[in-house]
Amino acid sequence: MKRKFDSGHSVRGLAVGILTRVQQENAYSNLLLNQVLQTEHLTARDQALLTQIVYGSLQHRLTLEYWLTPFIKNKKVLPWVYELLLAALFQLQYLDRVPARAILDESIKVAKINGHDGIRKFVTGVLHAILRQKLPNPQEIKDPLQKMSICYSLPIWLLKQLVKENGKAKTAAILKTINQPPHQVVRINQSYLSTAAAKQQLEAAGFMCEFSRLSPTSLIIKHGVASQSKLFSAGKLVFQDESAAQVVAGMQIQPADQVLDACAAPGGKTLQIADALASGSVTALDIHPHKIKLIEKNAQRCGFSPQVKAKCLDARQAIMEFKPATFDKILVDAPCSGIGLLRRKPEIRYRKTAAGVARLQQLQLELLASLTGLVKNNGILTYSTCTILKSENDQVITKFLNQHPDFKLLRKRTILPDEFDSDGFFMAFLEKTQD
């Protein structure tokens, strides 16, 4: 029977456990990290260190592997040992305030708890060699794209696409931003209190936070875990990046609107829509029953159950469930590559492929086309993604408008990560002009 990894409840052990599951189980780092932060009794300092190690080790993975390769050569290394070495290397190279001796001691303890004496000696030897010897310098790589790929830890195919669309300098600025730790951002439900009042209450409870430069309803939490706040349990705040909040803000929801959130999970935008409604309602669709339950649970926590109707349904079948011209506003927050979320989900950069991204465009167009009959005349169809690739954004809108002359583009917006130090997002607002 395979032995379960033992974190020893230490920060390094917890980090290695998360990183190993991300690689071996295709799990998402943000979900695993949030779970650990809520269940382990860590100090605020240790929570911050754990977050740094997990995200940093993933964000800089190609760089770390480039450095580590000469020290392990062609040896077959257990997955958790490999992640342990990468995490230790990240700390040694990027965390100036953590003493090297502490990094080595704690890493060797993790090796001792989980492996035999040979593994402990191997880890000890590699880490001491890294301290003694000079690391290979990626700046000496002759091929410019290969050098950029290793330095910014981004697969070549994706790097080429970003450079093609944005140029080298802008791409470098984007990649520098997404390789920084993500902010903890919350949106305040304005039905309950203003953003300023929420900031005051959080600070009185010991949190440190600041206003968002991008979203007037958002706060950036600099210290403290917002999910442990009274405001969160009372449903007065929601975890949502400030870029994502711009989508619903741009929809200009009216109190009596009938709204369809066609691809609603995990429900952040559904809740934001509900926050703007009075006599109106929002119907939230998703194809996964467990995600529908999550939307309902969050709506209940926020006191929005009367406004939210959650239904398990493929949005492409919605035309058979609802009468034509039912909705004033429809939001298609489409399935996408998620390239705009690389700071928050750093591992996805290594999982996506050019072919996979190309296939997404067809699905995105199908979703938009299938919902055109449900929009009222002069109603708004909003398309949004959390990617910054034009093939999933501008090209989708251009093709849709060419195929549907009864819609016109009101406005569109791309938010690149380096502009506001936020997630990357795209949104387009389309008005139905006739049947």
Fold of 242-432: Rossmann fold (3.40.50)
| Confidence (pLDDT) at 4 | 77
CA distances in angstroms from 3 to 6, 78, 310, listed in the order given: 9, 12, 41
| Confidence at 2, pLDDT banded by 50, 70, 90 | low
Q: What is the pLDDT of residues 96-126, one digit of tens each?
A: 888 999 999 999 999 999 989 999 999 999 9
Mean of all residue pLDDT scores within the chain: 96
In single-letter form, the type of residue at position 350 comes to Y
Q: What is the pLDDT of residues 179-219, one digit of tens each?
A: 998 899 999 999 999 999 999 999 999 999 999 999 999 99
List, as residue ranges, the binding site for S-adenosyl-L-methionine. 263-269, 286, 314, 333
pLDDT for residue 435: 61
* Per-residue pLDDT tens digits for 127-160: 999 999 999 999 999 999 999 999 999 999 999 9
> Rounded to whole angstroms, how far apart are CA atoms 401 and 408?
7
Is the distance from CB of 15 to CB of 54 less than 8 angstroms? yes
Instruction: Give the residue extent of every domain in the chain.
Output: 11-136, 140-178, 184-239, 242-432
Residue with tokens 């708890």, as numbered in its chain: 113
pLDDT over 90 for what percent of the chain?
91
Those residues with Cβ within 8 angstroms of residue 417's Cβ, 6 or more apart along the chain or in another chain: 174, 177, 178, 340, 342, 343, 388, 423, 424
Over range 417-433, report the average pLDDT.
98
| pLDDT over threshold 70, residue 294 | yes
> Which CATH code, of 1.10.940.10, 3.40.630.30, 2.70.98.70, 3.40.50.150, is assigned to 11-136?
1.10.940.10
CATH pick for 184-239 out of 3.40.50.300, 1.20.120.1200, 3.40.50.1400, 3.30.70.1170: 3.30.70.1170
How far, in Å, CA of 90 to CA of 320, rounded? Answer: 53
Q: Which two tokens stand for residue 184?
A: 């903890």
CA gap 10, 131 in Å, rounded: 23
What's the per-residue H, E or C state across the chain? CCCCCCCCCCHHHHHHHHHHHHHHHCCCHHHHHHHHHHHCCCCHHHHHHHHHHHHHHHHCHHHHHHHHHHHHCCCCCCHHHHHHHHHHHHHHHHCCCCCHHHHHHHHHHHHHHHCCHHHHHHHHHHHHHHHHCCCCCHHHCCCHHHHHHHHHCCCHHHHHHHHHHHCHHHHHHHHHHHCCCCCEEEEECCCCCCHHHHHHHHHHCCCEEEECCCCCCEEEEEECCHHHCHHHHCCCEEECCHHHHHHHHHHCCCCCCEEEECCCCCCHHHHHHHHHCCCCEEEEEECCHHHHHHHHHHHHHCCCCCCEEEEECCHHHHHHCCCCCCEEEEEEECCCCCHHHCCCCHHHHHCCCHHHHHHHHHHHHHHHHHCHHHEEEEEEEEEEECCCCHHHCHHHHHHHHHHCCCEEEEEEEEECHHHHCCCCEEEEEEEECCC
Q: What share of the chain has pLDDT > 70, as a percent?
A: 99
How much is the pLDDT for 1?
A: 41
Which carries the bigger pLDDT value, residue 282 or residue 223? 282
pLDDT digits (tens, 9 = 90+) for 169-182: 999 999 999 999 88
Unique residue bearing structure tokens 């953003």: 195
Known catalytic residues are 386
